[in-house]
Chains A and B, each alone.
Chain A
Amino acid sequence: MAIKTPIYMDYHATTPVDPRVLDAMLPYFNEKFGNAASRSHVYGWTAEEAVSTSREKIAALIGASNPKEIVFTSGATEADNMAIKGVAEFYKDKGNHIITTVIEHKAILDTCKRLEKEGCEVTYLPVDAEGMVSAESVAKAITDKTILVSVMLANNEVGTVQPIAEIGKITRARGVLFHSDAVQGIGKVPFNVETMNVDLASITAHKMYGPKGIGALYVRRSKPRVRITAQMDGGGHEFGMRSGTLNVPGIVGFGRAAEIMLAEGAEEAKRLLDLREHLRNRLVTALESVNLNGSYEHRLPGNLNVSFSFVEGEAMLMAIKDVCVSSGSACTSASLEPSYVLHAMGIGDDLAHSSIRFGLGRFNTLEEVDFVADLVISKVKGLREMSPLYEMHKEGIDLSTVQWAAH
């Protein structure tokens, strides 16, 4: 079978809309186009029913006991903002301390930074060398002013899966609300808001083969009932938590994507794990000095984040130009700072600059993986021939002892 280029292996950044999801959405653009809040005619009722059905499907995916616990948003960034700012505002008489981790997505970190300016105290828990936060450190950080703990389900860069159930046990016992940004892990690793004692969770459609621009915040209704101050006013939609006319086609797509993920996710995770391991084995067998960033065991099945020593990440991306992946190198970021996640894990800047993230997904095939492996192996070898660091390494020089003339 001929390989079609470019080959997409950046499924952590976004995913294509599954054809089945697109089919489900289309009628809602210009046939069943009603506003779900139009209570007085069939267009509105049809839209409302579609939204209601999607709520149920999404609730089922995350193990929520009540579909009304699904509050639709424009995406996970908005859901993260709503969760943190909404809880901080509503519970401000109870306390002003929030606990999170250093490897969260910017939607969490930047929101916390804003709240710090407005008088909240935030503890950013460190992670270990594999990018894991310890439940114990969460327990130690909780004070009588703590109103929220926010820990992501799985990290988007290195794929490390966090001990959500363990943390949930602690927060439940201490009476502190627990939010999880579950964007990367939903459907790929176990996640259940009931059994894991999660009170708020952010999810988005475009990471699970649904459309961009639609996400949801799970807000627990019982044991305990969680309240948040709305961040978007005007009409009182979504149980008063998020005003704004609902994106019905997006919601329908989101629901269908969730339904597919619930039915096929476990099987798919196994297949992705096999593909990922095949890629990893091919690379480490053919090349020396390949470092796996993150945990081998507690990892998203499709994630492979590796550093190819002596070769810079952006040069690699240029070399494998028909393969779409990403890098933790400073050169690939707008700010020219290397990845803060890798930095938090204690991975040196030199290895951060050499890191490549492969994110495998639903539509990748074994042929594609082999093609990519061949290409990466040959390009790494070529770039190493051009690298003064590789030459020095071959001569037996310990690069960590060299005095560099940095500019």
Chain B
Amino acid sequence: MAYSEKVIEHYENPRNVGTLDKSDDQVGTGLVGAPACGDVMRLQIKVGDDGRIEDAKFKTFGCGSAIASSSLATEWLKGKTVDEAATIKNSMIATELNLPPVKIHCSVLAEDAIKSAIADFRSKQAAKKSLAGA
């Protein structure tokens, strides 16, 4: 199985491995995939008051391409607004990492993880607003 250099790079030096505080209402957590499928990604974003993602962390159970896809995702997320983050597509990840056809689904899962984290963040914000009676 020949990996692209970029996948190997991300796999050997993954960026942003870790955990953010789930209970922080500025943190959105996305957990996608299933152990039975061999792929589980947890991606978290911390959004600042300016609406920009100031930190992103991931943990992945999956192959080298899955780890690389989620590592790349966290790199791209930092500094973007939440709306900008929602435009990240799996095809961009797949192209950047030169993923072969059999590994495209890893990039799809990464896109799902981003969307899931954003959805979680937004629902927390909505809950906060309604509590505040806005």
Partners in one complex: yes
Q: Chain A residues in contact with chain B, CB under 8 A? A: 310-315, 318, 329-332, 336, 338, 348-350, 353, 385-391, 399, 404-407
Query: Out of A330, A385, A405, which one reaches B38, CB within 8 Å?
Result: A330
Q: What's the least CB distance linking A345 to chain B, in Å? A: 16
Query: Out of A332, A388, A390, which one reaches B31, CB within 8 Å?
Result: A388
B59 with A391: CB separation less than 8 A = yes
A405 with B63: CB separation less than 8 A = no
Contacts of B41 in A (CB 8 A): 388
A389 with B36: CB separation less than 8 A = no
How far apart are the CA atoms of A387 and B18 in the complex, in Å? 9
A405 with B31: CB separation less than 8 A = yes
How far apart are the CA atoms of A399 and B31 in the complex, in Å? 13
Q: A312-B63, A407-B112 are in contact. List 13 more A-B contacts (CB 8 A).
A: A314-B1, A314-B64, A315-B62, A318-B63, A330-B37, A331-B62, A332-B1, A338-B38, A387-B60, A390-B61, A404-B40, A406-B34, A406-B37
Query: Out of B19, B60, B67, B108, which one reaches A407, CB within 8 Å?
Result: B108
In the complex, whether B79 has a CB less than 8 A from a CB of chain A is no
Among B41, B67, B112, chain A packs the most CB atoms within 10 A around the CB of: B67
Q: What's the least CB distance linking A32 to chain B, in Å? A: 41
Chain A's closest residue to B62 (CB) is A312
How far apart are the CA atoms of A405 and B37 in the complex, in Å? 11
B40 with A388: CB separation less than 8 A = yes
Contacts of A406 in B (CB 8 A): 33-34, 36-37
Give chain B interface residues in 23-47, CB to chain A under 8 Å.
Answer: 31-42
In the complex, whether B11 has a CB less than 8 A from a CB of chain A is yes
How far apart are the CA atoms of A349 and B36 in the complex, in Å? 5
In the complex, whether B77 has a CB less than 8 A from a CB of chain A is no
In the complex, whether B3 has a CB less than 8 A from a CB of chain A is yes
Contacts of B31 in A (CB 8 A): 388, 405
Q: Chain B residues in contact with chain A, CB under 8 A? A: 1, 3, 8, 11, 14, 17, 19, 31-42, 59-64, 66-67, 102, 105, 108-109, 112, 116
How far apart are the CA atoms of A1 and B16 in the complex, in Å? 39
Query: Out of B11, B19, B67, which one reaches A391, CB within 8 Å?
Result: B19
Chain B's closest residue to A400 (CB) is B35
Chain A's closest residue to B37 (CB) is A406
How far apart are the CA atoms of A322 and B21 in the complex, in Å? 37
A386 with B35: CB separation less than 8 A = no
How far apart are the CA atoms of A216 and B66 in the complex, in Å? 43
Main secondary structure of the interface of A (DSSP, over half): helix
B38 with A386: CB separation less than 8 A = no
Contacts of B40 in A (CB 8 A): 388-389, 404
Decide yes or no: A405 and B33 within 8 Å by CB, A312-B61, A315-B63 being known contacts: yes
Q: What's the least CB distance linking B123 to chain A, in Å? A: 14
Q: What's the least CB distance linking A353 to chain B, in Å? A: 4
Decide yes or no: A405 and B60 within 8 Å by CB, A385-B17, A388-B40 being known contacts: no
Q: What's the least CB distance linking B109 to chain A, in Å? A: 6
Contacts of B33 in A (CB 8 A): 404-407
B37 with A387: CB separation less than 8 A = no
A404 with B35: CB separation less than 8 A = yes
Contacts of B63 in A (CB 8 A): 312-315, 318, 329, 331
Chain A's closest residue to B105 (CB) is A407
Query: Out of A314, A318, A386, which one reaches B59, CB within 8 Å?
Result: A386
Among A353, A388, A389, A406, chain B packs the most CB atoms within 10 A around the CB of: A388
How far apart are the CA atoms of A406 and B32 in the complex, in Å? 6
- 26 residue pairs from A and B, CB less than 8 Å apart: A310-B61, A311-B61, A312-B38, A312-B39, A315-B62, A315-B67, A318-B8, A332-B1, A336-B102, A348-B35, A385-B17, A386-B14, A386-B59, A387-B59, A387-B61, A388-B41, A388-B61, A389-B61, A390-B61, A404-B33, A404-B34, A404-B40, A405-B32, A406-B37, A407-B37, A407-B109
